[in-house]
Structure 1
Amino acid sequence: MTGMGPAWRHLRSDRSAATTRLDRGTLRRVIRFAQPHRRLISVFLALTVVDAGLVVVTPLLVQRIVDDGILKGDTRLVTLLALAMAATAVLSAILTVVTGYLSSRIGEGLIFDLRTQVFGHVQRQSLAFFTRTQTGALVSRLNNDVIGAQRAFTSTLSSTVSNAISVGVVGVTMLALSWQVTLLCLALFPVAFGMSRWVSNRLAGLTREQMDGNADMGNVMTERFNVGGAMLLKLFGRREEEDDLFAEKAGRVRDLGVRISLITRLFVATMMAVPALATALVYGVGGRLAISGALTVGTLLALATLLLRLLGPLQGLSNVRIDVMTALVSFERVFEVLDLPSMIQERPEAAELSSDSARLEFDHVGFAYPRADEISLASLEVVARTDSRDTGPVLTDISFTAEPGQMVALVGPSRGGQDHDDPPGRPALRRPRGRRPGGRQGRA
């Protein structure tokens, strides 16, 4: 069952991410974004490479124990090599803990940076942005997409480097031990990869259909089990038709469940059969070579052990493009929010107001409602906008001064709710003199 973990994890992955077109600058922005964590990332990758290289140490020690220790009756060498195997296992465990800690440090640091930047940027958007944006979609960018982007520097990066090193080291070691046995075993692996790809494509589509079918059943039950739906059902007496409708939807979900189960079992059977057949080849061909003296018994056992450690990394590398593209898509969705400019921008030369400043002056001010694409993102709205017309000027050339204590009102013309295509009217300014009730001076 070695290799089932990576294969099963990617079984239902969405392969459409691999064909997604990304902006050319996305990868460069991701690298720049990771600059503050470059030291931790470098240490993390170095330890990952060391940990991946240890995968061949134990099989080679097994070879020495059998050939030079057991078969030659050297108990001292057997003891030393056994202690070396134990030390290798302890070192691998320590590296696993350390790399896990560094991975969490890097991942949580990236999450913190992304979330604080997105939150701060969204807080500075205009009020019009929040009137058009779905709150759930915006929160999803801060949660799901940020976590998806985090995986680019933790699980995706570490697994890609680890799998590549493991495949290279194990492959070279097996070829050095016996190139005949290695090539025969590798000939079976395309069968496993082809089956994995076919099952993944089929299962992803069937899973979506099953989710849609369950949603349809849920909608029917929600509509029929409330008071209004039950009253309509009783009133029109269509119970048999409703029973048939629900049975049809439930039957579709049932059939999809059977197909998913059959395909999953076929995949599991294939993933169990291929390593078993490869192991049989190792012992069959390698055993004949050992009998003829072309191969030692220890080498045969080392080849069998290395073989079982090769399928998992190979399966993981076959899905590396999907993992990388999925992580980059998450980054791009986060960058989409960060790149949305705010409608309210302070000028670089703007002066800071003092606490006693109460005089307000409008100097030839104009106003127009912003277009939808200027204040929001289509991906954050309920329906992607198709209308981005200019509203035209609403207020033009407005100049007045409000002194402390004055109340100034902008009074619109008649037909104040006129269509934006009509010529805008000029509002009248009314500046009632005097103080507010109570005689307090306030800011305009």
Structure 2
Amino acid sequence: MKPETLTWTPSPRTGAAEHPDRPEPPAQLRRIFGLFRPYRGRLAVVGLLVAASSLVAVASPFMLREILDTAIPQGRTGLLSLLALGMILTAVVSSVFGVLQTFISTTVGQRVMHDLRTGVYSRLQRMPLAFFTRTRTGEVQSRIANDIGGMQATVTSTATSLVSNLTAVIASVVAMLALDWRLTIVSMVLLPVFVWISRKVGRERRKITTTRQGQLATMAATVTESLSVSGILLGRTMGRADSLTKSFTDESERLVDLEIRSSMAGRWRMSVIGIVMAAMPAVIYWAAGIVLGAGGTAVSLGTLVAFVSLQQGLFRPAVSLLSTGVDMQTSLALFQRIFEYLDLPVDITEPERPVRLGAVRGEVRFDGVDFSYDDKSGPTLKGIDLTVPAGGSLAVVGPTGSGKSTLSYLVPRLYDVTAGRVLLDGVDVRELDFDTLARAIGVVSQETYLFHASVAENLRFAKPDATDEEIEAAARAAQIHDHISSLPDGYDTLVGERGYRFSGGEKQRLAIARTILRDPPVLILDEATSALDTRTELAVQQAIDALSEGRTTITIAHRLSTVREADRIVVLDAGVIAEGGTHDELLARDGRYAALVRRDGRPAPMGTDISEAPGTDEQRVSLTEPEPAVR
């Protein structure tokens, strides 16, 4: 399925998407307003508070006029006291209304922020594996942290500021017209020019903001990659720490330049607006004393003071309104980046009426399966027909790039087939609900991922309600309990980022314990021991044997010694099944499998992939961030 308005093309520098068909601003604005629709009741209350506050504030200049023109000249102390008290109450009521509207609008804004964050995160959770193999982690983090964080002012205060200032401007203009329409025309003559300037500044800042957010994403990706455990190991062992620091410094310098440009864009033009508005009272005094006075239509002192007071009150919301317009245009760039992620097509979706299986027997069948990663590359798998009976075991072997891992990814729907079907207990996996798939299929891969949390928390990720006894039993079955118990903090030991406080074999056994705790009827072992030394492999293989007992097992193997006992072994070559049978049958044929066995029995020659060479876990610690396998 292809998106109608979005084409995802990784940028060479940032990994950000290039979007030739961006939505027009009116369409964007409608979508932004749609984010606030669930909270329209609260926003209506804010609107009423804003309107009431503006009307109350406008009353002060009229009471001031009465004080100057009537109460003081005529010595009416009672009226003077009443008007003075009214002005004080006006200030109190305006302040109370202001606090209430700020509380409600901030609450609504934060709820919208929450909706955006969870919406993007939920969308990314549903993206196919291919998306993450071509997108830098830092880019994803930047969209959620920097872009949504950058919109906070817009969604929490800008909307309220817009309504508040617009209401204040309208109320002030109406009041000014009521006092003297001629002075009002003098005050408003330059307003269209100010609006034009602010719109131009807003467009300029929007362009800079788009570039700035891309630069923030680049820096986030650099930090994520170079300051991870693997990144530090790689940088230091390659002697590149200084060059990495210099590269980060250069990226930071570019960000400094963009931040300055963003802050200063249109600053002088907006300052001119402020200067002109600040000078307007003098213009009004001049117009009242010279122009209007010469025409015989003098303005009373009270009216003039009240008008200037209103005008001064008008300038603040007017300038704020123009600045809000600039900020809103700037924030459109941030909204656009978030909408890009929200609009990403989700290829793997749950059917409208999914099938839910109760007890899963575990039969897996590949029925005429073809698979291609995209239209440009050739087929990775072609015409795969395989059946693994419930409780049976299948081993898939073959050279690198033959499609072994891809075949295993089709069962839990990490990818969907291009043609044919993958069936679980006779039901196409595309027709099953996600919960059934997750409950039925467990995966143990070569690259074990552990969270930066305690051992117990990592194991409970498979079963949140697991008891301590269940966790310990799973660890015993995985041959890792004794080691955990020997640690000072036992099961409360922090595993460190990506589990780097444990060796490769220990991490693998923790992953096996985690899968045992989940207890899936179908087990996929994706080269689970290929990066381990022989001694560690033996311990892990014992754990795998315990895990595999009574389950349907599909093993993707590089080391053929781990698959000799499989019920059936198939050899993949260039995406097709070259041959299949038991270990003894395939050896007797003296075909490709026999050739692989002979190669597997020889010492690895110079230049062989280190993951296939002998050695200890410590000698073969991966020094690069592992990329998800896609072949």
Could you say whether these structures have the same fold, taking a TM-score greater than 0.5 normalized by the shorter chain as the test?
yes
1:339-350 counterparts in 2 under 5 A? 339-350=343-354
Gaps of 5+ in 2: 1-21, 212-238, 243-252, 404-572, 585-631
The yes-or-no answer on 1:395 pairing with 2:546 is no
1:112 corresponds, among 96, 110, 114, to 114
The answer to whether structure 1 residue 351 and structure 2 residue 502 are counterparts is no
2:175 is aligned to: 173
Contact 2:67 2:83 in 1 (8 A): yes
TM-aligned CA deviation for residue 364 of structure 1: 1.9
Instruction: Say what the alpha-carbon RMSD is for the aligned residues.
Output: 4.3
- CA distance 1:430–1:302, shift in 2 (3 Å): farther
Q: Alpha-carbon deviation of 1:94?
A: 0.5
Deviations 1:295-325 (A, max 9, x none): 2211111011112122233334445554444
Name the counterpart of 1:364.
Answer: 368
Deviation at 1:139, TM superposition (A): 1.7
User: Does structure 1 conserve the Cα–Cα contact (< 8 Å) formed by 2:176 and 2:307?
Assistant: yes
Q: Secondary structure of 1:310's partner?
A: helix
Pairs within 5 Å for 1:2-151: 21-22=23-24, 26-149=28-151, 151=153
Distance in 2, matches of 1:24 and 1:277, equals 35
* 3-state SS of 2:392 partner: coil
What CA distance in whole angstroms lies between the structure 1 residues aligned with 2:32 and 2:170? 27
Q: Report what 2:300 is aligned to.
A: 296
Question: What count of residue pairs does the alignment treat as equivalent?
Answer: 351
Q: Which residue of 1 aligns with 2:435?
A: none
> Take 1:208 and 1:153, find their aligned partners in 2: how far apart are those partners?
18
Normalized per residue, which structure has more helix?
1
In the alignment, structure 1 segments of 5+ residues that lack a partner are 1-19, 210-226, 231-249, 372-388, 434-444
Secondary structure of 1:393 counterpart: coil
Give the aligned partner of residue 241 of structure 1: none
Question: Which one scores higher on RCO, CA 8 angstroms, separation ≥ 6?
Answer: 1
Q: Which is worse superposed, 280-289 or 401-410?
A: 280-289
Asked if 1 retains the 8 angstrom alpha-carbon contact of 2:206 and 2:330, the reply is no
Q: What are the within-5 Å matches in structure 2 for residues 158-197 of structure 1? A: 158-187=160-189
CA distance in 1, matches of 2:269, 2:332: 32
Q: State the shift of 1:140 in Å.
A: 2.2
Per-residue deviation, 1:272: 6.3
Distance 1:430 1:33, change over 3 A: farther
Describe the SS at the equivalent of 2:380.
strand
Alignment of 1:317-332 (within 5 A): 317-319=321-323, 321-332=325-336
Distance 2:76 2:308 in 1: 24
Do the aligned partners of 1:149 and 1:328 also contact (CA within 8 Å) in 2?
no
**2:50 touches 2:163 (CA, 8 Å); kept in 1?**
yes
The answer to whether the Cα contact below 8 Å between 2:198 and 2:322 also exists between their aligned partners in 1 is: no
Identity rate, percent = 34
TM-score relative to the length of structure 2: 0.48
Q: Which secondary structure does the structure 2 equivalent of 1:390 belong to? A: coil
CA distance in 2, matches of 1:156, 1:195: 19
**8 Å contact kept, 2:384–2:576:** no
Letter in 2 for 1:122: L
Cα distance in 2 between the residues matched to 1:313 and 1:414: 67
Query: Which residue in 2 is equivalent to 1:410?
Result: 396
Counterpart code for 1:47: L
Partner of 2:622: none
Deviation at 1:293, TM superposition (A): 7.0
The equivalent residue for 2:579 is: 428
Q: Which moved more, 1:270-279 or 1:303-312?
A: 270-279
**CA shift for structure 1 position 185:** 3.5
Alpha-carbon shift at residue 203 of structure 1 (Å): 9.8
Does the alignment pair 1:308 with 2:459?
no
Task: Rate the CA distance shift 1:341–1:405 in 2: closer, same or farther, 3 A.
Answer: same
Deviation at 1:109, TM superposition (A): 0.8
Opposite residue 70 of structure 1, the aligned amino acid is I
Q: Is the 8 A contact 1:411 1:429 kept in 2?
A: no
Q: Report how far residue 198 of structure 1 moved.
A: 8.7
Letter in 1 for 2:385: S
Q: Is the 8 A contact 1:192 1:274 kept in 2?
A: no
Post-superposition offset of 1:25: 5.0
Shift of residue 415, structure 1, vs aligned partner:
8.3
Distance 2:161 2:284 in 1: 27
Residue identity opposite 1:428 in structure 2 = E
**Equivalent position of 1:12 in the other structure:** none
CA contact 1:406–1:432 (8 Å) conserved in 2: no
TM-score (structure 1 length as normaliser)? 0.65
